[in-house]
């Protein structure tokens, strides 16, 4: 995240928008989905500004679309927060480039998600 100019203190939805994440949809108090378009395998990420409607229609070769959800589920006396990331590469060349990128970044991606969930948990328990 720091390579992309983000720090742990900047992981609020309004701050993520500055990094070209867009809210794509939500079910109030249950799930939210954010998205991002770019060339993630490049040094700067090749991120594009978008909105929810444009994100769905975007289909330009040489790019990939990432969707990231956060989902909340009640479980007896606790609440479970989960997250999932999905990537759609828009052509074979992007798929190959992303594959190489993912081979190196995958372990760090998992760590980022775990740290985010931990941070959200700590903030929720502090309330």
Q: What is the pLDDT of residue 117?
A: 82
Structure tokens at 23: 């809210």
How high is the pLDDT of residue 45? 92
Total domains present in the chain: 1
Whole-model pTM above 0.85?
A: no
Q: Domain range holding 90? A: 2-126
What is the predicted pLDDT for the residue at 6?
A: 55
What is the DSSP pairing of strand 64-75 with strand 31-38? antiparallel
Give the pair of three-digit tokens for residue 7: 């720090």
The C-alpha atoms of residue 9 and residue 6 are separated, in whole angstroms, by 8
Block means of pLDDT (10 residues each) for the chain, length 127 residues? 52 72 93 95 93 95 95 88 93 97 87 81 81
pLDDT for the residue 9: 54
Q: In what order do the strands lie in the sheet with 22-27?
A: 22-27, 31-38, 64-75, 78-89
Whole-number pLDDT of residue 66: 95
């Amino acid at each position: 995240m720091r390579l992309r100019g983000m720090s742990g203190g900047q992981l609020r939805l309004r701050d993520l928008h500055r990094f070209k994440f867009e809210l794509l949809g939500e079910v109030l108090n249950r799930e939210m989905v954010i998205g991002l378009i770019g060339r993630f395998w490049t040094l700067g990420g090749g991120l594009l500004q978008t909105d929810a409607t444009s994100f769905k229609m975007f289909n330009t070769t040489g790019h990939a679309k990432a969707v990231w959800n956060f989902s909340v589920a009640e479980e007896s006396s606790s609440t479970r927060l989960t997250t999932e990331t999905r990537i759609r590469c828009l052509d074979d060349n992007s798929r190959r480039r992303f594959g190489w990128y993912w081979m190196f970044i995958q372990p760090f991606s998992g760590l980022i998600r775990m740290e985010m969930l931990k941070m959200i948990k700590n903030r929720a328990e502090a309330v």
